[in-house]
């Protein structure tokens, strides 16, 4: 009765490394939702977790080297703990696999550059998980700007408000708000308006006092100067009472284009006290589409023989701006991004 | 290396009947996105189409009887052409499978009742694909009303505007706008506000002149009287210049709850001429979530040993109201729904 | 030092009849906000009330005949109690004054026709206070439709929800919801989509039980058939928990144009439970602009020697549709508007 | 027949100085729309302009000294050219009149302080025309924050985008964007979040090249540090393709409150290309309500024997922050506001 498998001839075989929340989500997408891909293996130090993520009949296990040796595996998704990204990335590159890596490659510029040099040597395709570039709203903003529909960019604005601050244990090794979180806003700024030349950070600890001892802040305004002459501002906070609040707004010569904050549903309640609407809680809900679309874009690029994007240069340049922002916060003055470029 | 398959022990084996647009979508969801389910077979008269829908390693073929005889198949999704629904439904029921059936079971009350009698005799779980009940916005409206948060329902309103009228070939066998399309609004009205006792249809052919010869209309206002004492109105048109436009609005004692129309993205463009936003094109985009959630609900009900919903009584009662609406249009006067109840 | 008064040479002298809430508002506008007009007299049975409304140095008093005899008075605004409208209107017409009359002229067709015949005989300009035609949003909807920007009208919808039902004392002499309140929606329907030929009313008493004994309802759906072939629906309720809720929506060949409900301010509060916004309370706030703009339009028409609008034909035709709606409610079937036309 | 004038016994007699666009608007409001006030005189160097603004029978003329000598004049509105504000203000103060003065008193701190010292010596009530404090939306934001409904302010944001840059002739004497325009945003920031201690300006000439030679910019991001520990950002541009775009957004401990940008009407057009809405053009439309409400507040304060607000301290402190912003732009580094405080 069998006439064949759905699209299997051309489908790229995927290994997912790491079966936590994001790894499991990627595995599920690769098993049933991404055209041109199929999930063949899932690896995690916790074998039971790997098994739970092995959707659609994929193999699962704990041995990464064995999995990378499997010729059916043509591409990997790296969703392991952040501190292992660089190691897993270099192993996958050396095994000749195409790589989709959750951000960041590493928290410092040196380790990031080292790992990406291995990727470059191996000549394998590489995409970094700056998921916002594939959010339908953010992507449409970028598309309209890149197409020149509104003329030159004059002012960029991005806002990201998290519902809760990270726990202290996380903060200690996170690299601070700029490298850990604002980097997403920085990458969108670069994507939309081009390279950033100078940054000035203004930050405060208003929410989570334990941030003080790590030199970190929870409330930040970061101003950007772009090579193009445009200016920009990123507003970030680590606590809202209502959920996750993101917005990108690009003021151009002939108009402005905005990706509005998102609500959980399109429902409005009218009653005593006026109108009420709900709100999206956090990133898993907010970027549900983007997490699928970015991997689809990776697969489509591989199938088309094109470079996936955002690529290694984005992984490193967005980090470079974040590192400059952290330096500006510390020094209390503007910092040139080129300081960190040799 | 293999430690097992993702959730496969408990997963319900599914056969998808029909590999057209909707069948393929259901197959994909069952392969990778529905918890507790796995896709095991896809059947279609066109074997190549079936193969293209056989995601995640499912079997595919053209022989329905053989597929229904497979003991691994515990449940079916019927997504074959509408005129085959009743036949496939009876075959699946007789084979003892749990059934998820795209709407309608049939276009007339007699055939629908006959097919559902077979389901009842077989004692198999049955869910009809009134997908709007599982749209997150519409579902929240219903939840708030059912929970009594706003008090008694006083007035119900639903609007559905399609982007384009159906082609004449489709119209000839569609049963007319009430049975084919307004039935979705009717089902939501029943779901939210309870049984309908009398309807009055007001319809016009303003868009597609070929509807005249089939006694059909493209522009309709249908008023409803509910057993509860509430009243309602359904507005339907078969052409918009901008896309698919749906809204449900329930006016209650202590407020109103509304599910707004949906846009394709959250982007707004500001420029000459003011503000502009895009719009969702049609049902596949609009109900992308609902098509997944309804099948998840079916599977969850099966796993929990509960009756899935909407069930056979919804399939037949919503059709009964639609048939009364068609009669009201013909006669130019109010029609009691009970006329069609023996 | 005086060089003259602001625009006084050309300004039309106004008498306001009735110094209640609406009369006082008109008086204030005429004293300082309407170009080409000046307030010269205010008359009310309650002389103190008249004095309180005599803004900007106008005369005030209780003697209507004396006021109408004043040659400085060129135009009147009739804002007396509804039951006195026809009498005051005929007196003003016989005195040769241009007339702006709050709606309705009278609650029955015969009295309305009689009073308007006096206006016709006198040949004086006449405008009826269907204020919604001058609401900026509603007016823009009408303008766009009249300009043909969206093609032919196919479906009209209007919704008006009052915050509270009228007290029983008011109901007894109000003529019922159609003549008292829905007439505003009817007039907008006629304004936007042309004459109405047949109506079908569906009404319920769900809010204010004392309406039963007056044959009135508080919850109504009225369907309209237009001479053009278009259809329409008016939804009216007499209680909301949140304020005054009006909307007009016109579905046309090439798009739809909507005047949304209004909020009191543009403020949104984000906090626990999501987003919250306030709501406009009732008609004085909602139509603050319209009450000024309609009188400005009246004055501008007088100065330009044009017929003001809406005119006598609108006063009587909108009432005729409302009377037909009341008849339809009573009979439980569609009623031809021409029934009430001899 | 006359029983008296509307509220004239208690009404405060007003002189309007300057009969340009704003003076005429104030005159009209005082003649017919402000409770407790009456317009008695209008003075302008152009006597015909003064006459055109003398609504409701007010006297008009060109002799300011004579007008200030009139004992019927109890209060003045100063709406003369900016360069005359200080002179007129001192004259009015010395004449013992209550003063409402359009912003700014003067463009430099010394002249402002000198003029306000005369006001202080005279002991007359003084209000500065920072109209945004009386915009219904902005006022509600401030009220909610001051009432503590959302807890402590953490981040303030204001955006003001003008439709067109000022002409070069205006720029030369305007004092630059911070003193001329951003001062409104600064005043709202101070009103909502308290005193500002340090500012950092980032500005560009992207729209109007002639600004370069005046040391001015058209595109600015100004970051603020508040005495409270909060931080803020003001975004200003001098050109949009669509109209006037203002927004205030206050992120607090327990939520955020936003006053959204305003549209000209509540109308949405649905058609090819999606949804379209119009936009408010500029400040006269945008602040139509505020221009009336601020003068009403002034009059109400006078009648109640209370200090009007914003007062002299706001006139000078908001200017002090604007001057610091201009200095920061010039120096390219953060500037302490206290630098300009002796």
The arithmetic mean of pLDDT across residues C229-254, rounded, is 96
Chains that touch C (3 or more CB pairs under 8 A): A, B, D
Question: Mutating which of B64, B267, B288 best tests the A interface, going by the most A Cβ atoms within 10 A?
Answer: B267
Contacts of D61 in chain C (CB under 8 A): 1-3
Q: Is D272 within 8 Å of C261 when comparing Cβ atoms?
A: no
Contacts of C255 in chain B (CB under 8 A): 240-242
In terms of Cβ atoms closer than 10 Å to its own Cβ (0-12, 13-18, 19+), residue C173 is: exposed
Nearest to A3 among B3, B61, B136 (CB): B61
List per-residue pLDDT tens for chain A, 342 residues long: 333 345 455 689 999 999 999 999 999 999 878 989 999 999 999 999 999 999 878 999 999 999 999 999 999 999 999 999 999 999 999 999 999 999 999 999 999 999 999 999 999 999 999 999 999 999 999 999 999 999 999 999 999 999 999 999 999 888 999 999 999 999 999 999 999 999 999 999 999 999 999 999 999 999 999 999 999 999 999 999 999 999 999 999 999 999 999 899 999 999 988 999 999 999 999 999 999 999 999 999 999 999 999 999 999 999 999 999 999 999 999 999 998 775
CB C137 within 8 A of CB D267: yes
Residue B9 reports pLDDT greater than 80: no
**Residue D246 vs residues C261, C342, D73, D139, D163: alpha-carbon distances, Å:** 22, 57, 36, 14, 11
Q: Does A270 touch chain C (CB under 8 A)?
A: yes
Peptide bond into B104 cis (omega under 30): yes
Angle CA(D309)–CA(D314)–CA(D317) in degrees, nearest 5? 170
Nearest to C231 among B207, B219, B232 (CB): B219
Q: Given this model, what pLDDT does residue D8 score?
A: 53
Contacts of A38 in chain B (CB under 8 A): 56
Q: Is B6 within 8 Å of A55 when comparing Cβ atoms?
A: yes
Contacts of D53 in chain C (CB under 8 A): 6
Q: Does D305 touch chain B (CB under 8 A)?
A: no
Q: Cβ contacts of residue A144 below 8 Å, gap of 6+?
A: A150, A257, B267, B269
Angle CA(A82)–CA(A88)–CA(A90) in degrees, nearest 5? 120
Q: State ipTM.
A: 0.94
pTM of the model: 0.94
CA dihedral A258, A261, A267, A271 (to 10 degrees): -100
Counting one residue from chain A and one from chain C, the pairs whose CB atoms sit within 8 A come to: 51
Nearest to B141 among A258, A267, A271 (CB): A267
Contacts of B265 in chain A (CB under 8 A): 136-137, 140, 259
Contacts of D271 in chain B (CB under 8 A): 241-242
Angle CA(B69)–CA(B73)–CA(B76) in degrees, nearest 5? 100
Q: Does B155 touch chain A (CB under 8 A)?
A: no
- What distance in Å separates residue B302's CA from the closest CA in chain A? 20
Question: Mutating which of A239, A240, A270, A281 best tests the C interface, going by the most C Cβ atoms within 10 A?
Answer: A270
CB D221 within 8 A of CB D202: yes
Backbone angles phi, psi at C258, to 5 degrees: -130, 135
- What distance in Å separates residue A56's CA from the closest CA in chain B? 5
C253-310: per-residue pLDDT in tens?
999 999 998 899 999 999 988 999 999 999 999 999 999 999 999 999 999 999 999 9
Question: CA D52, CA D19: separation in Å to the nearest integer?
Answer: 8
Question: CA C299, CA D340: separation in Å to the nearest integer?
Answer: 54
Q: Which D positions 184-203 lie with beta carbon below 8 A of chain C?
A: none
Q: Is B56 within 8 Å of A32 when comparing Cβ atoms?
A: yes
Q: Does D254 touch chain C (CB under 8 A)?
A: yes
Nearest to A233 among D230, D235, D256 (CB): D235
Write out the H or E segment, with its range, that includes residue B183: helix B183-193
Q: What confidence tier does B177 reach under pLDDT thresholds 50, 70, 90?
A: very high
Contacts of C221 in chain B (CB under 8 A): 155, 223, 231-233
Backbone angles phi, psi at C8, to 5 degrees: -70, -30
CA torsion through residues A237, A240, A246, A248, sign? negative
Instruction: Report the SS3 class of residue B307.
Output: coil
| Burial per residue of B216-235, b for 16 or more beta-carbon CB atoms within 10 angstroms, e otherwise | bbbbbbbbbbbeeebbbbbb
Question: Mutating which of C275, C278, C281 best tests the A interface, going by the most A Cβ atoms within 10 A?
Answer: C275
Nearest to B61 among A2, A48, A57 (CB): A2
CA torsion through residues B240, B241, B246, B250, sign? negative
- What distance in Å separates residue B21's CA from the closest CA in chain C? 28
Q: Does A29 touch chain B (CB under 8 A)?
A: yes
Q: Is A221 within 8 Å of D231 when comparing Cβ atoms?
A: yes
Q: Is D155 within 8 Å of A237 when comparing Cβ atoms?
A: yes
Question: CA C1, CA D41: separation in Å to the nearest integer?
Answer: 10
Instruction: Report the SS3 class of residue B197.
Output: strand
Tokens encoding A181? 């979180």
Q: Is D271 within 8 Å of C265 when comparing Cβ atoms?
A: no
Rg of chain D (C-alpha set): 21
Most distant CA atoms of chain D, gap in Å = 71
List per-residue pLDDT tens for chain D, 342 residues long: 333 345 455 689 999 999 999 999 999 999 878 989 999 999 999 999 999 999 878 999 999 999 999 999 999 999 999 999 999 999 999 999 999 999 999 999 999 999 999 999 999 999 999 999 999 999 999 999 999 999 999 999 999 999 999 999 999 888 999 999 999 999 999 999 999 999 999 999 999 999 999 999 999 999 999 999 999 999 999 999 999 999 999 999 999 999 999 899 999 999 988 999 999 999 999 999 999 999 999 999 999 999 999 999 999 999 999 999 999 999 999 999 998 775
C154-205: per-residue pLDDT in tens?
999 999 999 999 999 999 888 999 999 999 999 999 999 999 999 999 999 9
CA torsion through residues B24, B28, B29, B30, sign? positive
- What distance in Å separates residue D197's CA from the closest CA in chain C? 28
Q: Given this model, what pLDDT does residue B342 score?
A: 55
Tokens encoding B218? 């493209």
Q: Given this model, what pLDDT does residue C1 score?
A: 35
Chains that touch B (3 or more CB pairs under 8 A): A, C, D
Looking at chain C, which residue has its C-alpha nearest residue D28?
C32
Q: Does B240 touch chain D (CB under 8 A)?
A: yes
The arithmetic mean of pLDDT across residues B48-75, rounded, is 95
Residue spans of the domains in chain A: they are: 12-124, 133-289+318-340
- The CATH number of A133-289+318-340 is 3.30.360.10
- What distance in Å separates residue B227's CA from the closest CA in chain C? 13
Q: Is B265 within 8 Å of A2 when comparing Cβ atoms?
A: no
Q: Given this model, what pLDDT does residue B5 score?
A: 47
Q: Does D279 touch chain B (CB under 8 A)?
A: yes
- What distance in Å separates residue B294's CA from the closest CA in chain D? 29
- What distance in Å separates residue A234's CA from the closest CA in chain D? 10
User: What strands lie across the sheet with D75-78, from one edge to the other?
Assistant: D59-61, D37-43, D12-17, D75-78, D98-101, D126-128
Looking at chain C, which residue has its C-alpha nearest residue D70?
C1
Q: Is C275 within 8 Å of A241 when comparing Cβ atoms?
A: no
Question: CA D315, CA D103: separation in Å to the nearest integer?
Answer: 8
Q: Given this model, what pLDDT does residue D5 score?
A: 47
Nearest to B221 among C233, C255, C333 (CB): C233
Q: Does A235 touch chain D (CB under 8 A)?
A: yes
**Residue A223 vs residues A203, A232, B134, D201, D327: alpha-carbon distances, Å:** 11, 6, 44, 10, 18
Peptide bond into B310 cis (omega under 30): yes
C77-116: per-residue pLDDT in tens?
999 999 999 999 999 999 999 999 999 999 999 999 999 9
Q: Is D274 within 8 Å of B279 when comparing Cβ atoms?
A: yes
**A88 half-sphere exposure, CB direction, 13 A CA radius:** 29
CATH class name, domain A12-124? alpha beta
Cβ-based neighbour number of residue C138 at 10 Å: 25
Q: Does B273 touch chain A (CB under 8 A)?
A: no
């Amino acid at each position: 009765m069998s006439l064949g498998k759905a699209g299997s001839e051309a489908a790229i075989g995927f290994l997912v490394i790491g079966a936590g929340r994001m790894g499991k989500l990627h595995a599920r997408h690769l098993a049933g939702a991404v055209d041109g891909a199929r999930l063949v293996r899932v690896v995690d130090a916790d074998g039971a977790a790997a098994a739970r993520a092995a959707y659609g009949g994929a193999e699962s296990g704990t041995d990464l080297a064995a999995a990378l040796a499997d010729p059916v595996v043509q591409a990997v998704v790296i969703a392991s703990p952040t501190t292992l990204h660089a190691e897993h990335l270099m192993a996958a590159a050396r095994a000749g696999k195409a790589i989709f890596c959750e951000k960041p490659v590493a928290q410092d510029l040196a380790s990031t550059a080292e790992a990406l040099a291995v990727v470059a040597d191996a000549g394998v395709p590489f995409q970094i998980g700056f998921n916002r570039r594939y959010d339908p709203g953010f992507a449409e903003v970028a598309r309209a700007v890149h197409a020149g529909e509104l003329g030159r960019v004059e002012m960029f604005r991005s806002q990201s408000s998290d519902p809760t601050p990270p726990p202290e244990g996380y903060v200690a090794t996170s690299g601070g708000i700029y490298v850990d979180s604002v980097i997403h806003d920085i990458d969108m700024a670069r994507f939309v308006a081009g390279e950033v030349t100078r940054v000035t950070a203004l930050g405060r600890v208003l929410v989570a006092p334990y941030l003080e001892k790590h030199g970190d802040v929870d409330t930040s305004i970061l101003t950007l100067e772009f090579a193009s002459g445009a200016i920009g501002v990123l507003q970030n906070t680590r606590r809202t009472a209502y959920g996750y609040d993101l917005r990108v707004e690009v003021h151009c010569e002939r108009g402005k284009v905005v990706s509005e904050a998102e609500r959980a549903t399109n429902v409005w309640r009218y009653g005593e006290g006026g109108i009420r609407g709900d709100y999206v809680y956090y990133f898993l809900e907010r970027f549900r589409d983007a997490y699928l679309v970015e991997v689809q874009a990776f697969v489509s690029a591989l199938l088309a023989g094109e470079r996936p994007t955002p690529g290694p240069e984005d992984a490193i340049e967005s980090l470079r701006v974040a590192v400059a922002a952290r330096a500006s916060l510390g020094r209390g003055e503007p910092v040139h991004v080129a300081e960190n470029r040799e």
